[in-house]
Amino acid sequence: NAGVTQTPKFQVLKTGQSMTLQCAQDMNHEYMSWYRQDPGMGLRLIHYSVGAGITDQGEVPNGYNVSRSTTEDFPLRLLSAAPSQTSVYFCASRGRDGAYGYTFGSGTRLTVV
């Protein structure tokens, strides 16, 4: 099905480990972004990209890296996992004109122990 695909769906990490959350979309959307969702905090923007080769920081970027080498993919890297990064992570995308709004992936539930 067309849309935004996130992998893995669930992950448990030990403190200090690194990992990459994958996000891919097949709608040729220019804009892609990563959010984290925490109880009582709502959804907060981590990083976003307006096209291949262009990324920028959102509201809570510390501890995360991103790159955008292709239009389709926007991976999120945790450099050295901390318990504070336990959260649900969502990837989203939209076309340049925004006519159809944002499409979200199904999320990755990450636990750091």
Partner 1 sequence: KQEVTQIPAALSVPEGENLVLNCSFTDSAIYNLQWFRQDPGKGLTSLLLIQSSQREQTSGRLNASLDKSSGRSTLYIAASQPGDSATYLCAVDPQGGSEKLVFGKGTKLTVNP
- By CB under 8 A, name the binding residues for partner 1: 31, 33, 35, 40, 42-43, 45, 48, 50, 58-59, 90, 92, 98-107, 109
What six digits make up the tokens of 66? 């991103």
Distance CA 88, CA 10 (A): 9
What six digits make up the tokens of 109? 């539930």
- Shortest distance, CB of residue 36 to partner 1, whole angstroms? 12
- Shortest distance, CB of residue 57 to partner 1, whole angstroms? 10
Cβ proximity to partner 1, 14 vs 99, nearer residue? 99
- Shortest distance, CB of residue 63 to partner 1, whole angstroms? 19
What six digits make up the tokens of 77? 């890297």
Cβ proximity to partner 1, 89 vs 112, nearer residue? 89
- Shortest distance, CB of residue 44 to partner 1, whole angstroms? 8
- What are the CA-CA distances from residue 39 to residues 5, 21, 33, 44, 48 (Å)? 23, 21, 20, 11, 22
Cβ proximity to partner 1, 77 vs 102, nearer residue? 102
- Rg of the chain taking only CA atoms, in angstroms: 13
